[in-house]
Amino acid sequence: MSRRRIFLDQDGPLANFDGYMKKHNLKGDQIKVMEGAYLNLEPTVGAIEGVKSLNGMGKFDLWIATKPPVGIPFACADKVSWILKHFPDLKRKIIITHDKGLLGDYRDFLVDDRPHKANCESFAGTLIPFKDGMDWPQLIDYFRKAPREISIRKATYKILQSVGSVQRQWLETVYDGGEERLARLEYDRLVAENPDKYFELVVKEHREECLAFTPKKP
């Protein structure tokens, strides 16, 4: 299976847009129309080290997803130039879009400090607001834990689905997110191909975790 993608918003998580705005006593709309302004943004504290840490985990495929100012061509060029300077390893991983809801699938992540803009709320995967205490140390900690926790939840779903309607109803009550609904579809396809082998692998890999989640029969 391919690595799960992390789409990182540029202004905020990577570039300190708000810091530049405060330092120069400018409004956001003023910065957006200033040629060269994006080139002068400082990297967000912890961003360079954080990106290296995420890449070092070897579990994720990192992309930069940025929304450009409308009708300002040089802003797009400045944004790309800034990335080439501070994050050269991601020079082929740049997406410029006004609609981040078009990106990724249910397995992926979007990190954005303006989750209410650029149609982020329609993102099919996990939307992580980069705000309210979610900075780079917390983000790294989240991603160190997230893959294992999510795989356990998916494995648990598949185990419980096999044992009866009561457990299935219980699980749907606890895990009612889109990821679990799609996991059910994935499960149906894999089990149809080779149910015995698939269950054997799932139980072997996650037996203790799955047993911990299994509810008692009524």
Q: 7-21, 97-111, 149-163 — which one is most confidently predicted on average?
A: 7-21
Cα separation of 39 and 82, whole Å? 5
pLDDT value at position 106?
Answer: 76
Tell me the average pLDDT across 147-176. 49
The domains of the chain are located at 4-134, 147-213
- Asked if the model's pLDDT at residue 195 lies above 90, the reply is no
Among 135, 128, 95, 71, CA closest to 10 = 95
pLDDT value at position 107?
Answer: 80
pLDDT value at position 193?
Answer: 55
The whole-model pTM stands at 0.69
Mean pLDDT of the chain: 79
CATH number of 4-134: 3.40.50.1000
Exposed, middle or buried: residue 158 (CB in 10 Å: 0-12, 13-18, 19+)?
Answer: buried
Residues 136-153 pLDDT 10s: 999 999 998 865 544 545
- What tokens does 154 get? 């998916």
Q: 90-99, 105-114, 124-133, 204-213 — which one is most confidently predicted on average?
A: 90-99
Cα separation of 153 and 170, whole Å? 13
Question: Is-contact 28 113, C-beta < 8 A?
Answer: no
* pLDDT band with cut points at 50, 70 and 90 for residue 70: very high
Q: How far is CA 208 from CA 142, 150, 156, 159, 191, in A?
A: 22, 15, 10, 12, 21
pLDDT value at position 34?
Answer: 93
* pLDDT band with cut points at 50, 70 and 90 for residue 8: very high
Residues 115-134 pLDDT 10s: 999 999 999 888 999 998 89
